[in-house]
Structure 1
C-alpha cells in the first residue's frame, strides 16, 4: 500500500454531517489513499465529542485553519462558513504545491459561505478563480456521468449563454479532461430538441459547436443534440456513459433519480484533481446519531485512486 495517493480532505461545514463521514469512514478511506484532513485538532476533538465518536488512530490534521468556534449542529452560521472556506483553501494550497495528489471536499453550506463574506457560490466557482481556468462540473458515477454547460444560473438566462465559441471550447475541454471511452451524448435545449426550429432554434448553435469540435478533434466524438426527455431512457443509456447537459436540472434531475446515493462531483479542466460528495450538509440529521450512507464519499475517494490507473 506504499504507492497510495496522498489526498487532502476539506472538512466542509462543521455544523453538518461532513465530519461524521470523515470520522466513521477513516479506516475505509485509508485502504484507498493516504488522507490529510483539513481541520485542526481542537475543532476535531469538539466535533468528535459532540458526536460521541472516538478519533481514529492516524487521523492526520492540519493546524491553524481558522478561528475556533462553538459547533451548533444544523445551524447556518458565519463562523462555520468561514471555517469551511478556510479548510478548503488549505486543501487547495496543499494540492497547488504538490504536497498532495488531489483534494476531496466534504459538503459546505452556500449561505454560510455568503454570511462569512465569501464571494463564491461554491467550490467550482472558487477553483475557476484560484487557477484562472474554465473548470467543468461533472457529476455521476461510472454508470453515467453528466457534465453541465451552465451550472448555477437562472433558467431564463440559459438560452442566451449558448453560443458557438463557448460551447465548442467546453466540448473540447470536456473531451480532453474527462477521457470518455465512448461517444458523448449531447442534449438539446428545447423540448423535442427544437423540432427543426418549431420549438426553438438553439439546437442549430449546438450543432455548429459540435461540428467545430469534431473538426478540431479530427473525429466524431459527440452525438447530434438529443431529445432531452428520452436521452436517459434505458434503451438510450445503454449506449453512453457520458452526457453533456445544457443546464443544471436537465442533467441532474435524471442523474439523481437513478444514482443519487453513489454519485460524486468532479472538477475537470484544472491543474489539480478535485472530487466531492454529491450531497449537502444534511443539517436536519447532523449530530443526531443517524446512520449515514457513505457511498458518495467512498466513490469520490475511489475516483481519485483510480484516476490514471486504467
Structure 2
C-alpha cells in the first residue's frame, strides 16, 4: 500500500512551517493530557508550530498532575507564539475554573469544547493558522450545553457553511472514507444513493492525490453480505445505489473497483491492493480501522474549506486525570495535519 508522507522537509525555515491549532476538547477528558504529552516531544516542533486553543489554567493543572516539566504560556493570538519545545503556547479562552472535575459529563465542558472549535475555525479562516487538530470531545456534554451536533464533523460543517463533508479514518495499512456516519443503519441505507457515493469517492481521491498518490486505487464496499451476490442478498441496493457511481468513476479514468464484499475488501486493502476503502456506513468502516490500531488512528474531515484532523478515540473519562493516556493517535493526527496544510512561503 502506498504510504502518505508523514513529515515535511525540515530544511525549510521555521517561519514557513504550518501553524496547527490544537483544540483542547473536553476538559474533563484526556484531551489536555495527551496534548501536553505530545507537545513535550521535540519532533513535533521539527515539523510544525503547534498552538493550543483551550484553557491555560486547565493545562497547568494537568501538567502538575502528570509531572510534565512544561511551561504553559497564554497568548492573545498566533502571532504571539514562541513555538519552542518546552513551552506550550495557548490561545486561552479562560472557560474552565480550577478544580473542574475529571471523568464526568458536564455542560461547561461541552460549551468550552464548542468554543475551542469555533475559535480555531476562525483562526484558520483568517489565515492565522493553517490547520485544526482536535482532541476528543464528549457528544453528550456538547448536547448538554445546547449544541446539538453528532460530533466534530457536523459541527465544523456548520461553522464553515459546508453542505456536505466526509469522514476519513487512517490507520496503519488502511484508509477508509465513509458514505454515511452518525445515523442509524436503516437511515444510512435509505440515504445512500449514486450521487452521494460518487461525491464521497471524488473527495477521498482528491485528498490522496494532494497527499502525493498520483492515481489512488479505490475499493468500494457493498451494503449487503457478499455485496448482494447478484441479488441473492438484499433488495438490489448495490445495483441501485452503488454500481452507477462506480461506473461514473471509471468513466473519469479513476482506478475504482466495486461494489465488493466488505470482509474481503478490507483484507485486500491491508495487503496493499487498495489505497482507500469506501465504507457505506459507520461501523462497516470503523471496526476494521480500530482493529488495525486504535492508538495510531487518525480521523480526517474531508470537504471542509479548512484542514481538520483528529484522534480516533474518545474522551476516555475512565482514565482522565490519572496520567496514563496514550498520545500516539494525537501525534499521528498532527503529522496528517502538517501533510494536508497549505504551505507557507
TM-score (norm 1): 0.92
Tell me the secondary structure at the aligned position of residue 276 of structure 1: strand
Instruction: Note the C-alpha offset of 1:222.
Output: 1.1
Matches within 5 A, 1:61-100: 61-64=90-93, 66=95, 68=97, 70-100=99-129
Deviations 1:140-175 (A, max 9, x none): 136211001000111121221121222222222322
- CA contact 2:35–2:327 (8 Å) conserved in 1: no
In structure 1, which of residues 193, 205, 209 is the aligned counterpart of residue 245 of structure 2?
Answer: 209
- CA contact 1:69–1:79 (8 Å) conserved in 2: no
The 1:286/1:236 distance shift into structure 2, 3 A limit, reads closer
Matches within 5 A, 1:32-43: 32-43=47-58
Instruction: Note the C-alpha offset of 1:282.
Output: 0.8
Matches within 5 A, 1:125-136: 125-133=154-162, 134-136=164-166
Q: Is residue 149 of structure 2 the alignment partner of residue 120 of structure 1?
A: yes
1:228 aligned residue: 262
Instruction: Note the C-alpha offset of 1:40.
Output: 3.2
Instruction: Note the C-alpha offset of 1:52.
Output: 4.5
Count of aligned positions: 307
- CA contact 1:188–1:203 (8 Å) conserved in 2: yes
Q: Is residue 167 of structure 2 the alignment partner of residue 137 of structure 1?
A: yes
Q: Is residue 62 of structure 2 the alignment partner of residue 47 of structure 1?
A: yes
Alignment partners' CA distance in 2, 1:46 and 1:58:
15
In structure 2, which of residues 318, 323, 326 is the aligned counterpart of residue 289 of structure 1?
Answer: 323
The 1:151/1:69 distance shift into structure 2, 3 A limit, reads farther
Q: Is residue 291 of structure 2 the alignment partner of residue 257 of structure 1?
A: yes
Q: Which is richer in strand?
A: 2
Alignment partners' CA distance in 1, 2:132 and 2:201:
25
The 1:162/1:38 distance shift into structure 2, 3 A limit, reads same
Q: Is residue 245 of structure 2 the alignment partner of residue 188 of structure 1?
A: no
Deviations 1:125-146 (A, max 9, x none): 0111122322110001362110
1:305 aligned residue: 338
In structure 1, which of residues 151, 159, 163 is the aligned counterpart of residue 181 of structure 2?
Answer: 151
The 1:87/1:308 distance shift into structure 2, 3 A limit, reads closer
Alignment partners' CA distance in 1, 2:172 and 2:267:
17
Q: Is residue 53 of structure 2 the alignment partner of residue 20 of structure 1?
A: no
Tell me the secondary structure at the aligned position of residue 296 of structure 2: coil
Tell me the secondary structure at the aligned position of residue 165 of structure 1: helix
* RMSD of aligned residue pairs (Cα, Å): 2.1
Instruction: Note the C-alpha offset of 1:235.
Output: 7.8
In structure 2, which of residues 261, 264, 273 is the aligned counterpart of residue 239 of structure 1?
Answer: 273
Instruction: Note the C-alpha offset of 1:295.
Output: 1.6
Alignment partners' CA distance in 1, 2:38 and 2:290:
23
In structure 2, which of residues 204, 208, 213 is the aligned counterpart of residue 174 of structure 1?
Answer: 204
- CA contact 1:109–1:281 (8 Å) conserved in 2: yes
- CA contact 1:13–1:281 (8 Å) conserved in 2: yes
Matches within 5 A, 1:101-116: 101-116=130-145
Runs of 5+ unmatched residues, structure 2: 1-12, 72-85
TM-score (norm 2): 0.83
